[in-house]
Structure 1
Amino acid sequence: MAHRRTFSARFPDMHHVALDSPPLTPMPNLAPFDFSRKPRAQWIRMTFLALFSLMAVSAYVLFLSPPVLHPIAFDHSDHPGPSRWTPDALRLAAMRNHRPPPPGTTTASRPQIRLNETEELGALSSFIASLPQNMIPQTIDASHPLDPQLVLDFDTRGPHAEEELAAVMDDVWARNPVMLYSKIHSPISREIKQTLASLYLKPAPTIVEVDERPDEHVLTPLLFRLTKQRELPILLVGGKVVGAPKDIKELAVLGTLQSAITAAGGVVDGARKKKAKKL
């Protein structure tokens, strides 16, 4: 097809060009390009292959490839313990689903650390003071030493378990220099709370109402074994039992209780509000 010739000022001699001469601008060769539509069968075949590939990849991801996150199973009929989603069940399920150390490590061959009664009391108090939801499972025998892995949040068979245990002991009594295991419906517990409140301690005493906890029947004999006390409340200052409940008020009058609290890192009158200065 020949181009249409027009006269213009840019090409003044265009009137000398014959109409049957070849075009000034050559036409591109479009032979290599096939603009014809592909047959319908070929499009259907390609669509089927794409869908099949997508289904194959999805099946591999869902059924063959191991998932990154494993859900915690709460219903194990072959394991004793609480079956509801209580704090006991959550912690026991987490322990059951705890992944073993990777192959090649020597952690599995290390013996688990042993806790003496002082360390056991510190680990138990740290466990309880960390979260109010932390509960001792009802299946625990309070007359036997606690499993360290139950109340400690690190690998008790690791190479640095002793150092981590020492850090926990320092931390629990630094954060809780005064800790009272109390009974909310006990008159003597109320008296000790009033005595502590009159000291305006900083940090404030950590008070655990044992008779309001679901694990009361396990925690109470456990505390009796570890503190050598026979009744609640039990007052700990720096991780040590101050004395019998009936003697605590007298110790406060003598100033012995205040001295013990100061030595443990607490501040007497540290929480007392200062009166505003009159202008």
Structure 2
Amino acid sequence: MALPRTSSRTPLRSDAPSHRAMPSESFSLPLAVMASLHPKRHRNRMTILALLALISLSTYIFCSQFSFAISPAFVLQQKPTTPEQIVLGLEPMRQARLAQAKKKQTKHSFGGREPVTLTPAQELAAVSSFIASLPQNMIPLSVDPALPIDPELVLDFDTRSPHAMEEVELVVEDVWTRNPVMLYCKLHSAVSRELKGILEDMNLRPPPMILEVDTRDDGEVLLPILSRLTGSSEIPILLIGGRPVGSMAQIREMLSTGELQRLVKSSGAVIGGGKRRKHHRK
């Protein structure tokens, strides 16, 4: 009797696990296992993360230090900066901050009022009064003669007070009353000597105020200021009643027609009223 043929192959059990049937299990492995499987990729990723962290930290530190360096408190407390800071533009910022802080402090101290603004005629009177008051009164060489002078430099009262303009008018009136004839001239000048001789022959009372610009320490600043305020670019400059008379040629013509004498009298000066110098005979 023939036995039935059997297969040498062992039949597969239906309940045996199949690795092909569950391909998604590889995604559930821990990161460390994946890193061990792909060590080169893991090192590259960690290097990139470290570089990003270093860049972020450096950016944060730089921004923090720069924002502190340009803060108002830091700028105001700094002493003169180094060349590196000047290159970065911190020095102009510091100066601007200081000027702004000083302006705010000044406004707060005086109720927010600004100094009075002088007209050219008022500025000429203020400068002339300042110079004629005391021989040691000098205009600072740091003053820009092309710009209106700071009233606080030449006026001895609070230029921010509500009555400052009234006091300016008093200064204008006082300086030309005391000095109806004022001459800005040069010591070493033939034209200046000629004009001085004309005034001396008038024997004025009060005597003319004569200021020799070339002998003063502030002459290089005073001369362009006078030129700006009077419109005369040359010395001598003769002021009668606070007004410039004109060039030397015009003064000679006015002297011959009597116009110069009339202007002197209208300013309040008295011709022939002064004390003449006694000439001692040898």
Q: Which runs of 4+ in 1 moved over 6 A?
A: none
Q: 1:187, 1:106 → 2: CA distance?
A: 51
In the TM superposition, what whole-angstrom CA distance separates every residue of 1:94-145 from its partner, at most 9, and x where no partner exists? xxxxxxxxxxx97341121000101000000000000010001010000000
Whether 1:188 aligns to 2:191 is yes
More helix as a share of residues: 2
- The residue aligned with 2:274 is 271
Whether 1:162 aligns to 2:165 is yes
Q: Normalising to structure 2: TM-score of the pair?
A: 0.59
> Which of 212, 215, 218 is the aligned partner of 1:212?
215
Q: 1:203, 1:256 → 2: CA distance?
A: 19
Report the residue type matching 2:194 in the other structure.
E
- The residue aligned with 2:132 is 129
Aligned residues: 177
SS at match of 2:261: helix
Q: 2:197, 2:254 → 1: CA distance?
A: 14
Q: 1:188, 1:262 → 2: CA distance?
A: 23
1:224, 1:230 within 8 Å by CA — same for their partners in 2? yes
Whether 1:173 aligns to 2:176 is yes
Q: 1:262, 1:149 → 2: CA distance?
A: 33
Q: 1:148, 1:260 → 2: CA distance?
A: 29
In the TM superposition, what whole-angstrom CA distance separates every residue of 1:164-203 from its partner, at most 9, and x where no partner exists? 0110000000000000000010100000000000000000
- The residue aligned with 2:262 is 259
Q: What fraction of aligned residue pairs are identical, expressed as a percent?
A: 51
Q: 2:273, 2:246 → 1: CA distance?
A: 24
1:188, 1:246 within 8 Å by CA — same for their partners in 2? no
SS at match of 1:221: helix
Q: 1:272, 1:157 → 2: CA distance?
A: 42
In the TM superposition, what whole-angstrom CA distance separates every residue of 1:222-258 from its partner, at most 9, and x where no partner exists? 1000000010000000000111122212212211111
1:192, 1:249 within 8 Å by CA — same for their partners in 2? no
- Between structure 1 and structure 2, the one with the greater Rg is 2
Report the residue type matching 1:220 in the other structure.
L
Q: 2:275, 2:258 → 1: CA distance?
A: 18
Q: 2:139, 2:118 → 1: CA distance?
A: 17
Unaligned runs of 5+ in 1: 1-76, 79-104, 274-279
Q: 2:211, 2:150 → 1: CA distance?
A: 22
SS at match of 1:208: strand
> Which of 219, 237, 241 is the aligned partner of 1:238?
241
Measured after TM superposition, the shift of residue 272 of structure 1 is: 5.1
- The residue aligned with 1:49 is none
- The residue aligned with 1:20 is none
1:180, 1:236 within 8 Å by CA — same for their partners in 2? yes
